Structure 1
Amino acid sequence: MKYFWKLNAVSAILGALIFISTELMVNVYRISRIGEWELGAVVDGVERINIGLAALAPILIAFMVWKWLEGRASTYWSLLLWVPYFVMFVSVFAKLFPETHQGDRPAPVTGLIIIAMTIAYPFYLALPVSLGFWLSRRQKREDSVIPIE
């Protein structure tokens, strides 16, 4: 049962990573309006945050899979279990922070970008999950985790 909770915690973190990225993209106009910042500065900041998340997420994911998920084959379920958490996060955010200002609506192409991101996300996750799985299996065999010869 403990493994079940760990798998769901990892899946929730995976869902939160894409949620943060998509919500920042969708809400640039709202952030600009409420923070009274220039739109260009907000867009640049969102791009930097998304690039930082994209760069650090594989390391975080591989580490979580390696340390928490114990090298079980059911680790790969996390490649699908992030979806309900992502939907839940988006639904809760939309209920808590409804769109009240007409100018806060994102550009129509933003939806297409988010669709492409959600389709590509499992493939993006596959490599760090596989790496963490491999490291965990290698550690169980008591080989050196990082082969240095």
Structure 2
Amino acid sequence: MTMPFFLKLNMVSLLYGLIFFICMALQLHYYRLLRLTGWTADNLDLFLLLVQLVGLSVATIFLYKLAARWLGHRRWIYATMILWLPYTVIFTMAFTYLFPISDRGDMPVPMQGLILLVMLGGYPLYIAIISLGART
């Protein structure tokens, strides 16, 4: 594996991690967004749904094209199924350090952890489908 390919592999993994972090942060900081925007819960729910659906659709198309162009027909493309996780952890730690929860009312509900576990289990499958399509 050459150094330019290694950098491209990590850049694609970083983008996968960033996408997952954004989806996760929007869900975990629901009450903070509700308090800061002053919107009703229905309006914020609709806004977050639209942002996540449009964002995921655009990101899927963009990452498919990027992975097909940069990573091509190599088997190393499947390494992104694992490499996205450290980048997500780094983004989460940086966000938590820069924007700590100061109001106890902004804490996520306990059920949110189960939703995140399902997302953590399904996201590598999402990456595998994109990688499989980009490799052919």
TM-score range, shorter chain: over 0.9
| 2:121 corresponding residue in structure 1 | 119
After TM superposition, the score normalised by the length of structure 1 is 0.85
| Residues 83-118 of structure 1: per-residue CA shift (max 9 Å, x gap) | 000111111111110000011111211111011101
| 2:110 corresponding residue in structure 1 | 108
Look up the equivalent residue of 2:12 and give its one-letter code.
V
Question: Matches of residues 85-96 of structure 1 in structure 2 within 5 Å?
Answer: 85-96=87-98
Q: Which of 29, 33, 36 matches 1:34?
A: 36
Is the CA contact 1:29–1:39 (under 8 Å) kept in the aligned structure 2?
no
- Measured after TM superposition, the shift of residue 80 of structure 1 is 0.7
Structure 2 residue runs of 5 or longer lacking an equivalent are none
Is the CA contact 1:61–1:129 (under 8 Å) kept in the aligned structure 2?
no
SS at match of 2:101: coil
Is the CA contact 2:72–2:134 (under 8 Å) kept in the aligned structure 1?
no
| Residues 5-31 of structure 1: per-residue CA shift (max 9 Å, x gap) | 110000000001110001001111111
| Residues 49-89 of structure 1: per-residue CA shift (max 9 Å, x gap) | 12223333322221111111132111110111000001111
Structure 1 residue runs of 5 or longer lacking an equivalent are 135-149
Share of identical aligned residues, percent? 32
The structure, 1 or 2, with the larger RCO (C-alpha pairs under 8 Å, 6+ apart) is: 2
User: Over the residues paired in the alignment, what is the CA RMSD in angstroms?
Assistant: 1.2
Larger Rg: 1
Is the CA contact 2:24–2:116 (under 8 Å) kept in the aligned structure 1?
yes
After TM superposition, the score normalised by the length of structure 2 is 0.92
